[in-house]
Amino acid sequence: MVDSDKVQFNIYLSRELVTRVKHQAIDEDERSLSSFVERILQSYLDNTKEASR
């Protein structure tokens, strides 16, 4: 996926969860919060797809 393929969408999460996610992204030396969340979501979807086989 190239950057031009990316779109923005808004979700609402608890302040506590957002804080935890931001801290985890920093702890993992992720270059951006977006890339961290993208990686986590992709991993979840990949694992879910594999589990359903």
The pTM (predicted TM-score) of the whole model is 0.78
Q: Which residues contact 22 (CB under 8 A, 6 or more apart)?
A: 33
pLDDT score of 32: 94
Whether residue 18 contacts residue 24, with contact meaning beta carbons closer than 8 Å, is answered with no
d(CA 42, CA 36): 10
pLDDT digits (tens, 9 = 90+) for 1-53: 566 799 999 999 999 999 999 999 999 999 999 999 999 999 999 999 888 87
CA 21 to chain centre: 9
